[in-house]
Amino acid sequence: MKKFNASYCFCRQWRKLLLIMKFTWIFILGGILIANAESYSQNTKLDLKIENATLKSVLHQIEEKTNYYFFYKNEEIENLNSVSIEATQASISEVLDVLLKNNGLNYEVHDRYILLQRTGGQPDNNFTQQQRTITGKVTDSSGTPLPGVTIYVKGTTMGTITDGDGNYSLPIVSGDATLVFSFVGMRSQEIQIEGQEKVDITLLEDAIGIEEVVAVGYGSQRKADLTGAIEVVKIESIENVSLSTGNPMLALQGKVPGLYIEQTGDPNGASNRILIRGVNTLGNNDPLYIIDGVPTKRAEVFQALSPSSIVSVQVLKDASASSIYGSRASNGVIIVTTKNGSNSKGKVKVQFSSNFSVQTEKPQRYDMLNAVERGEALWQASINDRVDPAAANGEIYDFDWNGDFDNPVLSKVTSQPYVGRDPTVPSADTDWQDVTYQPGYVISNDLTISGGNENSSLLVNLGYFKNTGMLKFTNYDRMTARINAQTSMLDKKIRFGINTQIVSSNETMVAQDIGLANTPVLAILMPPTIPLYTSTGEYGGPLGSGYNDRNNPVMMQDIDKWDNTNRSYLFGNVYAEFEPFENLVFRTNVGVDYSILKDKDIELSFQNGFVSRTVNSLTLYKTDFTSVTWSNTLNYKFDLGKSKFDFLLGLESISDNFSSYTGYKEGFSVQTEDFFVLDAGTSNGNSFGTGTGSRLFSQFGKIAYNFDERFLASVTLRRDGSSRFGKENRYGMFPAATFGWRISEESFMESLTSLTNLKLRVGVGRVGNQDVGNFASLGLFEPRYGATADQVDVNDHGGDFWNQYHNVGSAYSLYGTDTGNLPSGFVSVQSANPLLRWENTDEVNIGVDFGLFNNKIMGAFDYFTRTTSDILIKPPVASALGEGQQQYLNGATKENKGWEFSLSYRKEINRDLNFEVTAGTGHVADKITELPEEVRTAYAGNSEQTIVGHSEYSIFGYVYDGIFQNQDEVDAAAEQVGAGPGRIRYKDLNNDGVISALDQKFLGTTLPDLEYSLRINGNYKNFDLSIFGSGVAGKIGFDPYLGWNRNVNVGTNFGPGVFDAWTPTNTDTKIPALTLADPNNEGRSSDYLNVNLSYFKIRNIQLGYNIPTNNLGIKMESLRVYFMADNVFWIKSKDYMGPDPERLSDTRIPVPTTLSFGVNVSF
């Protein structure tokens, strides 16, 4: 039988019934079905004018114009005579009576489903012999039969629908065929026949729309009942993206309005900055993660999750939604729930995903000068400064020029045959970005095995991720294992479960040269005249005058390849639930977050040009972190007619402990990896260790109320006690209240049949912050043991280490009578502040959710205002106050305001074609509203002007006012040190006749004013296509390209903009004259160097194909292959001269462009 899908909508009476019954069609009397079918038939009128067409094509046209489905056997209608019809405002019955007249066909109408079959016909014997008939029953999770469920044989046009009792009968060709069951509001399921003749199935509710159940604080809730600002992320939109990056967090980028994520090109896929609704405080702004009920502030726990093990992700954005988590939720909450094994009736289900990706940074490379071009720029800068170019660059270039500074003419620039006159170092034209980077290869494999029965289930997930790195000699690999198991007894009144993840990763990181410049910036600025290798096979390096002390970046990565960072952790929970009677549940949950970090840093001795490291060393660093969370909750739900109540009470304790150890040794006689152990070092052995911990104890409760599915309300209260504060201020109270009104359920809205859902949400709440040192309210002393600065060479690595970890300097007797400097004793490092108290964030959120045309169009709008007071800070203290006067204070207030908007449209054109378009945008602006005088100089710009009224991430600077064209303009302008023809002129904003620090102004912030995104998903038959893009606007930042074009440094390379620099014959330009000395200090912060960093990126394009499996000869449920591309195209502001404005700085590995191929298979 053949079925063409069409989009459909229910009349309002049916929609309300389906809401109440969870999309389950319950027919107590058969007349209900008939009455509603007739109702739809009477309300649907058709206009048709068709001549001499096949019956099949006419039926298809009716499906296109209405919401009817036709079911029939092809062989029963293919050879019929052509039909003609002309109808105006005719019912479906009138149309079918005409079309089927004299064709020997009869029809039955089941609401929107119409079954055509031959009148009194008998099946063909040959047809019957080659097929078997599958029968069965389809029910929902409560056992209620589902009529109208679509059932078809995958890969064929054969199908049927269930009758009013949920029964079906379907002849199929093969015993290993796959049946597809689909029904509105339910999850589609695929079942392999495997020789069975009777297949009963239970369809589960689909997590779409108002009946979707989402995770909230210590429980779950229907999306229809939410009154806070909670964003639900579709898992299918992040699975494959997560495989290619190794980080599900990056897959959320741009998909949640108000969630801001900055991406890096690091091989570990880590995110640099994660913010929910902007910058909330002056300290740590990381959100709280709740994974299977266990809280953590460590983003890497979420970022290492296998995407196939995640069942849901919710982002709690406002205080009313997150206040149940109290003091740790001031920056928002991300709730992650992992999958459990399903009731597979004892069968084992296997899912395997594999992804191979190639990463490149070539689209993000900076365009730099070659050797000859660089020589020409150096010559021009020397001439502008009236310096003999050979004096500064003679060992690099030969200059053929006329020697006239007033009328200079350059005939040719020639690189010296040997760098620094060393015959083993030939001249070169090295593209350092090209030799430092390589294609990065990513391999990601993920295996999930699950199964279960009615009482128990088990899921095992194994993952492996490896990235060879785009930067040579970098590498990252990670192995993960997850076990989720649960069981129940006593008719499911007692339930136990465990969710555990084990992760181990190894990483070789970005190297730094002896001057602490890292490899990415060296690859950009290293002069091209230095060769990668000398003629003797050693690494080339800077020699002679005209070079700085930068090292060969490839060499630095090579000699640091033995450096390694290993992270291992165990994260999970064990829980038990007891339900003594229906809807009363006691749950106890113990969560563990245990991590070990081991870092090995081997510093080899070397000679690279005239730069060297004479002493080698080994540093071993290890940390242990353990957090144990024990939470106990009692939840009771009950109904009183139209009133529904949900009560929650809970206690929670969190214990955190941290310890670290560092060991250091110098003087290793052999430079091989195995020889670098601490015992093999011969000098300057040192060690350092520390330990700390904190405790948090909490009580919390929540009452949620629902009246008649129209009015919703909740009240939450949490009380947290933290060991980080003194006894008088240890506890903080964090209340919240919300109200929701589902306006669409009011009787006066019934006439608006196109409005499916309209809900108003209002929430107010308070959350806290305790992110300070574990002993923040106490006075702290630190021991010092006898060493003085002259005992070590502070110019080498050992001296730096000794000073950092051994606290070289004076000490004082803690209890003795000595008052002078002592070689040993204790030193005060922090003053006590017993008045230190909680930081509080108060927020008001007003939101609207809406759905139109049976939720084909859905959207939400939120406006919020957030005030954070008593902000915890630790300002620097002037040395005149003496040692140990630094202390934590409650010293600032800031405000965030913003809005978020999302909109989606989905359309099912027919069974073969559907699409969905989703867009989102958001704005947030923060500003400091109060800042004590004693701490104002602690932040950028405050030495001259306060930042009260501006964001913490504000940039202040001078205002570019063009370029001086002649001396007369210089003389007429405000006094400016270094001014001259060709130099930048700055505005005298305070009109005092002098350019000074007082002429700086607010230029903008490094956080965007606006974020936006667009996603398009489509499916055609077995193909699926997804295109996702996002961008930011209103963000400014430093453009390093302008800096390299501005000032010519003889030891580095420059951008091609130097050839558009000002000269007496090239005056129409924004780039000042080239200079070696920079007398005008044009590197100062200004709107010339800080430019608009707005951009829009096509972040991901994915094309997939679901391969039909019934003819492969292998029993599998599904097989999908896909191609994917990340960061393939972007549009940037014309003011930004660099390649990619998302690249955080020239010191970071650029965000890669990635091409991927993957496969998903399930058995």
- Identify the pLDDT of residue 131: 47
Q: Which residues contact 400 (CB under 8 A, 6 or more apart)?
A: 410, 411, 412, 413, 414
In sequence order, which ranges of 459-605 are alpha helices (DSSP H)?
519-525, 553-559
Which three-class secondary structure string do you get for 293-344? CEEECCHHHHHCCCHHHEEEEEEECCHHHHHHHHHHCCCCEEEEEECCCCCC
- Identify the pLDDT of residue 885: 66
- Identify the pLDDT of residue 797: 37
Buried b (16+ CB within 10 A) or exposed e, 566-580: ebebebbbebebebe
- Identify the pLDDT of residue 796: 38
Alpha carbon distances (Å) from 323 to 333, 700, 702, 763, 765: 10, 10, 10, 11, 6
Q: 389, 396 in Cβ contact below 8 A?
A: no
Question: pLDDT per residue over 777-824, tens digit each?
Answer: 988 887 766 544 343 333 333 334 444 444 444 555 555 555 455 556
Please indicate, yes or no, if residue 256 is contained in any of the structural domains. Answer: no
Question: pLDDT per residue over 957-969, tens digit each?
Answer: 999 999 999 999 9
Mean pLDDT, rounded, of the chain: 83
Confidence band, pLDDT 50/70/90 cuts, at residue 142? low
Q: 586: helix, coil or strand?
A: strand
Residue written as tokens 């009194």?
A: 120
Q: 433: helix, coil or strand?
A: helix
CA–CA dist 1069, 1115 (Å, integer): 69
DSSP state of 354: E
User: Which is higher by pLDDT, 982 or 1115?
Assistant: 982
Which range, 308-317, 623-632, 750-759, has the best average confidence (pLDDT)? 623-632
DSSP state of 676: -
Cβ atoms within 10 A of the Cβ of 1014, count? 17
- Identify the pLDDT of residue 762: 97
Q: Of the candidates 296, 295, 529, 321, which has an alpha carbon nearest to the alpha carbon of residue 426?
A: 529
% the chain with pLDDT above 90: 48
% the chain with pLDDT above 70: 85
CA–CA dist 31, 35 (Å, integer): 6
Q: 230, 220 in Cβ contact below 8 A?
A: no
Please indicate, yes or no, if residue 1128 is contained in any of the structural domains. Answer: yes
Segment 150-166 shows an average pLDDT of 75
The first and second tokens of residue 988, run together, are: 């005298």
Least confident piece of the model among 23-37, 103-117, 647-661, 847-861: 23-37
Please state the domain count of the chain. Answer: 1
Confidence band, pLDDT 50/70/90 cuts, at residue 1008? very high
Segment 1100-1125 shows an average pLDDT of 86
- Identify the pLDDT of residue 155: 61
Q: 425: helix, coil or strand?
A: coil
Least confident piece of the model among 127-136, 356-365, 370-379: 127-136
Q: Which residues contact 866 (CB under 8 A, 6 or more apart)?
A: 277, 280, 319, 841, 842, 843, 844, 895, 896, 897
Please indicate, yes or no, if residue 391 is contained in any of the structural domains. Answer: yes
The yes-or-no verdict on residue 130 having pLDDT over 70 is no
DSSP state of 1085: S
- Identify the pLDDT of residue 254: 81
* Burial (0-12, 13-18, 19+ Cβ within 10 Å), 18: middle
CA–CA dist 901, 848 (Å, integer): 10
Segment 432-450 shows an average pLDDT of 95
- Identify the pLDDT of residue 80: 79
User: Going along 667-754, which residue ranges are E strands?
Assistant: 683-707, 711-722, 731-742
Least confident piece of the model among 208-222, 429-443, 723-737, 1115-1129: 208-222
Confidence band, pLDDT 50/70/90 cuts, at residue 1014? very high
Compute the residue count for the chain: 1163
Which three-class secondary structure string do you get for 1036-1067? EEECHHHHHHHCCCCCCCCCHHHHHCCECCEC
Confidence band, pLDDT 50/70/90 cuts, at residue 416? confident
Q: 965: helix, coil or strand?
A: coil
Least confident piece of the model among 218-232, 562-576, 815-829: 815-829
CA–CA dist 938, 1154 (Å, integer): 41
- Identify the pLDDT of residue 812: 57
Q: 362: helix, coil or strand?
A: helix
Q: 367, 1055 in Cβ contact below 8 A?
A: yes
CA–CA dist 385, 389 (Å, integer): 10
The first and second tokens of residue 382, run together, are: 């020397």
Confidence band, pLDDT 50/70/90 cuts, at residue 940? very low
Question: pLDDT per residue over 671-701, tens digit each?
Answer: 999 999 999 999 988 888 889 999 999 999 9
Please indicate, yes or no, if residue 1066 is contained in any of the structural domains. Answer: yes
Cβ atoms within 10 A of the Cβ of 916, count? 17
Q: Which residues contact 1064 (CB under 8 A, 6 or more apart)?
A: 981
Please indicate, yes or no, if residue 348 is contained in any of the structural domains. Answer: no
The yes-or-no verdict on residue 1074 having pLDDT over 90 is yes
User: Which is higher by pLDDT, 367 or 798?
Assistant: 367
Confidence band, pLDDT 50/70/90 cuts, at residue 829? confident
The yes-or-no verdict on residue 45 having pLDDT over 90 is no
Question: pLDDT per residue over 491-511, tens digit each?
Answer: 889 999 999 999 999 999 888
Confidence band, pLDDT 50/70/90 cuts, at residue 156? low
CA–CA dist 99, 93 (Å, integer): 10
Segment 544-569 shows an average pLDDT of 88
- Identify the pLDDT of residue 805: 42
Alpha carbon distances (Å) from 192 to 154, 172, 250, 352, 1110: 10, 12, 35, 18, 9
Confidence band, pLDDT 50/70/90 cuts, at residue 207? very low
Q: 508: helix, coil or strand?
A: strand
Which is it for strands 113-118 and 69-71: parallel, antiparallel or unpaired? parallel
User: Which is higher by pLDDT, 50 or 845?
Assistant: 845
Sign of the CA dihedral running 193, 194, 200, 205:
negative
Segment 378-390 shows an average pLDDT of 91
Segment 988-993 shows an average pLDDT of 95
Number of DSSP helices (H) and strands (E) in the chain, helices first: 18, 57
- Identify the pLDDT of residue 375: 93
Q: Which residues contact 763 (CB under 8 A, 6 or more apart)?
A: 227, 228, 229, 318, 319, 320, 321, 736, 737, 738, 739, 843, 844, 845, 846, 847
Query: Can you give the pTM of this predicted structure?
Result: 0.80
In sequence order, which ranges of 493-552 are alpha helices (DSSP H)?
519-525
Please indicate, yes or no, if residue 1099 is contained in any of the structural domains. Answer: yes
Q: 757, 745 in Cβ contact below 8 A?
A: no
Cα of 1008 vs its chain's centroid, Å: 16
- Identify the pLDDT of residue 123: 42
Which three-class secondary structure string do you get for 988-1009? CCCCCCECCHHHCEEEEECCCC
User: Going along 29-71, which residue ranges are E strands?
Assistant: 46-53, 69-71
Please indicate, yes or no, if residue 390 is contained in any of the structural domains. Answer: yes
Alpha carbon distances (Å) from 354 to 194, 290, 306: 27, 27, 12
Q: Which residues contact 570 (CB under 8 A, 6 or more apart)?
A: 500, 501, 502, 592, 593, 594, 595
DSSP labels, 767-809: EEE--S-TTTTS-EEEEEES--GGGS-TTSHHHHHHHHHH--S
Q: 638, 645 in Cβ contact below 8 A?
A: yes
CA–CA dist 179, 131 (Å, integer): 15
Beta bridge partners of 170: 134
Alpha carbon distances (Å) from 270 to 444, 1036, 1159: 16, 23, 24
Dihedrals phi, psi of 58, to nearest 5 degrees: -65, -45
Please indicate, yes or no, if residue 1097 is contained in any of the structural domains. Answer: yes
- Identify the pLDDT of residue 810: 54
Which residue range is the domain that position 1120 belongs to?
365-428+1016-1162
- Identify the pLDDT of residue 38: 44
Least confident piece of the model among 98-102, 479-483, 679-683, 888-892: 98-102
Confidence band, pLDDT 50/70/90 cuts, at residue 157? low
Alpha carbon distances (Å) from 855 to 177, 849, 905: 34, 11, 8
Q: Which amino acid appears at position 848 of this protein? A: V
Q: 812, 825 in Cβ contact below 8 A?
A: yes
Buried b (16+ CB within 10 A) or exposed e, 65-101: ebebbbbbbeebbeebeebebebeebbbeebbeebbe
- Identify the pLDDT of residue 879: 42
Cα of 868 vs its chain's centroid, Å: 25
| 918: alpha, beta or left? (left if phi > 0; alpha if psi -120 to 50) | beta
The yes-or-no verdict on residue 186 having pLDDT over 90 is no
